[in-house]
Structure formats: C-alpha cells, structure tokens
Chains A and B, each alone.
Chain A
Amino acid sequence: MSDARTATGIDPYQLGHQQRHKRQYNAEHASRGLASKRIITGYGFWIFLLSDIIMFAAFFATYAVLSSATAGGPTGRQIFDIDNTAIETSCLLASSFTCGLASIGAERHRDSWFYGAMGITFILGATFIGLEIHEFAGLVKQGAGPERSAFLSAFFTLVGCHGLHVTVGLLWLLTMTAQVFAKGYRADVLRRILCFTLFWHALDIVWVALFTVVYLIGIT
C-alpha cells in the first residue's frame, strides 16, 4: 500500500499520519491527498521559528559566558532600569494577547475586530521598540555602549537582535493589515496571518527568557 502511495505521489513522506486509515485509503484519501496547505505552511513556519530560537540560544549562551566580563566598566546592576523593563514586558505581553484576538477576528471575517486588534498590537509593539531605543541611546550616552566591554557587546547583540525581530514583526503586521484591506480574508492571506501570529507569540516567548536572564538575574 505504501508503495502504491509513493508511486502515485500522494503522501510520499506520510505527513498526514495515514497509516491508521490504510483500509479507507482508496475511498477517503484519494480525495483528500496531502494535509491541507494551512497545516503544511504552519508546520514549515514552526520549523523556521524553532531554528530562529536556536539562533537566539547561541546569543543567550554568549551572553551567559560574557556576563561577568565587564573589563572594569559598568555591571548590569548599575545600568539596568527595571521599571523600564517592566513596562516593556507588559507592552509585549498585552500585544501578544491582542495579536491572538486579531487572528480570531480574521478567521471570523470581522473587520472591526481584526483592524482594531491589529492597531492596538502595532501601538504596543511600537511602544516597546521606542522604550528599547530610548534605553539603548541612554546607555551609549553614558559611555556604556557596545564597545565598552564584552558584557555590553553581548548585551547589545542579544537585546538588539530581539528588537530587530520585533521591528520586522511590526512591518509584517502593517503588510498583513494592508493585504486584508486590499484582498480580503482569502485563504492565502489567512495563512500569512497564521504565520505572523506564530512569529509574534514566539517573540514574546524569547522576551520572557530575555527579561529573566538579562535583566532580573542581572540585578540580583
């Protein structure tokens, strides 16, 4: 049976777990074929996100190794402003929530729900980026820029890389809003919205690791 399936090219890698249904194969799966495009797209993007998280893990490992290499410069305890981090964290958490609401709005084809939630997500994400740029500018101004010590280089690389991801996410958010505006809730647009929400939630997960490892453990 599996030979026949490979030969016909319907599910050569058995992505759809179809072993269970072997007997019904001819009747059912000839019409179903591969798993739907939404599942394959989502799974592929999931693999990308995991590899992105592995890249972040490399930056985390670098930071953890270098966090005490301050070269006589300022330590984390002296330069981190935890109140600022708390505001950033609540912005990103709330934006993750509104992003989820936007994805429901898109699936139900509710314009006000989708545009409203996307708008709030954008404002919260932009606030996050604004606060981060403000923090970075302040650090560079007081002579604690990335060139000061290995610790600060690792800090700017790790936090800056996350900030860059959020910036790209904001551009993607605007693109998706424009696509829904221009093309409506088509299946391909909905698949892109699925990928965007996955991306945004994954950034929030990275931020959880980041504020814990860098900021909270940094000041204790």
Chain B
Amino acid sequence: MSDLERLSDCHETDRAPGDQLRGEFSDGPKSYVIGLALASLLTVTSFYVSRTSLVWTPSIPVALSVLAVAQMGVHLVFFLHISSGPDSTNNVMALAFGILIVFLLIAGSLWIMSHLNHSMPPMEKVIQMQR
C-alpha cells in the first residue's frame, strides 16, 4: 500500500484494527513500549497478589480478575490500537458485541449450572433413591 493511500485512510473514514493513527505515537514503537511496560507491571502484580498473604484472602480472585481485565484493556489499546476515535467506530462496535456474547456465554453457563447443582440431591441420596 502506498503511503498516500494510507494517509487518506487515516484522515477520511476508517482504520483497520492494528493500524496506528499517523502522528498518534509518531507511528513508531512508542505505543508498544508503553504497552509492554504497563502489561508487565500488571502481570507482575497478578503473580504477586496470587501468592501473597498481605491481602485479605477472599478478595484475591476479585483482585486477579480486575487486574486481568485491566491488562486486556492495555493490550487492546497499545498493541491492537483500538481507540475511541471516529475512524475506529466499526472495530469498537464489533468488539462490544463480542464482549456481550462472551459475557452472556460465561455468566449464563455459570448461573444455570450453579442452579442445577443447587437443586440436585447429594449423590448418596440419588443412589438410595435408585434402589
């Protein structure tokens, strides 16, 4: 692709996911360096939190989930260059729909299965009932 064509893409309409906006981070490795630094920080924090005794134990899974969501956000912004700009609208809409489906799938499965588990009698009782 010629630079001219690329320039007109950036200024006029849409941007492919993964493409950087010209001038945003001067189109160089800067965004990847920032992303690597933030992601490393969040990863190290996750691994530290999982093994520390400093944090109240029941809060650890919640803390880990928050850190993971934050790190996925960092990856999306600094590695995949998904932004809130008008040229990225289509990418963001597709992403939002994907996140909705992922949420429904995981939360729905857990919800239904926990209800089923709850209303199922203990295994010994089932065996007794079958005799």
Specify which chain A residues have a CB less than 8 angstroms from the CB of B97 in the assembled complex: 50
Find out whether the CB atom of B72 lies under 8 angstroms from the CB atom of A43.
no
- Contacting residue for B101 out of A57, A90, A187, CB 8 A: A57
Could you tell me if A205 and B106 are in contact, using CB atoms closer than 8 angstroms?
A: no
Q: Is the CB of B80 within 8 A of A38?
A: no
Among candidates B29, B33, B64, B110, residue contacting A61 with C-beta atoms closer than 8 Å: B110
On whether the beta carbons of B106 and A100 are closer than 8 Å, the reply is: no
- Taking a contact as CB atoms under 8 Å apart, the answer to whether B79 and A204 are in contact is yes
Q: Which residues of A contact B39 (CB under 8 A)?
A: 93
Is B126 an interface residue when CB atoms closer than 8 A count as contact?
no
CA distance A17 to B51 in the complex (A): 50
Instruction: Assess A89 versus B43: contact at CB under 8 Å? Given A97-B35, A100-B29, A217-B64.
Output: yes
Interface residues of A in 202-220 (CB under 8 A from B): 202, 204-205, 208-209, 211-213, 216-217, 219-220
Q: A86 with B29: in contact, given A54-B105, A93-B39 (CB under 8 Å)?
A: no
A197 at the binding interface (Cβ < 8 Å): yes
Instruction: Report how far A97 CA is from B71 CA in the complex, Å.
Output: 14
A96 lies within 8 A of B17 (CB): no
Which residues of chain B are within 8 angstroms of A46 by Cβ–Cβ distance?
Answer: 16-17, 91, 94-95
- Whether B102 contacts A93 by the Cβ 8 Å rule is no
Structural contact, A64 and B29, CB atoms closer than 8 A: no
Which residue in A93, A198, A205 is a CB contact (below 8 Å) of B18? A198
Are B72 and A208 touching (Cβ within 8 A)?
yes
Closest CB in chain B relative to A30 CB, distance in Å: 14
Q: Could you count the A-B residue pairs with CB atoms below 8 Å apart for me: how many are there?
A: 159
Within 8 A of A (CB), among B36-65: 36, 39-40, 43, 46-47, 49-51, 57, 60-61, 64-65
**Within B83-123, which residues are at the interface with A (CB < 8 Å)?**
86, 89-91, 94-95, 97-98, 101-102, 105-106, 108-110, 113
| Distance of A54 Cα from B98 Cα, bound (Å) | 7
Q: Give the residues in chain B near A37, CB-CB below 8 Å.
A: 1
Contacts of A96 in B (CB 8 A): 36, 75, 79
CA distance A65 to B18 in the complex (A): 34
**Which of B32, B49, B79 counts the most chain A CB atoms within 10 A?**
B79
Report whether B14 and A15 are in contact in the complex, using a CB–CB cutoff of 8 Å.
yes
CB <8 Å contact, A204 and B75 = yes
Q: Once the chains bind, are A220 and B57 in contact (CB under 8 Å)?
A: yes
Q: Give Cα A25 to B67, complex, Å.
A: 47
Look across to chain A and name the residue whose beta carbon is closest to the beta carbon of B105: A57
Interface contact A53-B98, CB-CB below 8 Å: yes
Contact A38 B19 (CB under 8 A): yes
With both beta carbons as reference points, the residue of chain B lying nearest to A186 in the complex is identified as B1
Q: Which residues of A contact B95 (CB under 8 A)?
A: 46, 50
Given A187-B1, A208-B75, A212-B67, 12 further pairs, Cβ under 8 A: A38-B19, A39-B14, A47-B94, A57-B105, A82-B50, A104-B28, A194-B18, A212-B64, A216-B50, A216-B64, A217-B61, A220-B64
A-B contact pairs, 24 of them (CB 8 A): A38-B16, A39-B13, A42-B17, A46-B17, A46-B95, A54-B105, A64-B106, A64-B109, A65-B113, A82-B50, A93-B39, A93-B40, A97-B35, A100-B31, A104-B27, A190-B1, A201-B18, A208-B75, A213-B68, A216-B50, A217-B50, A217-B60, A219-B50, A220-B61
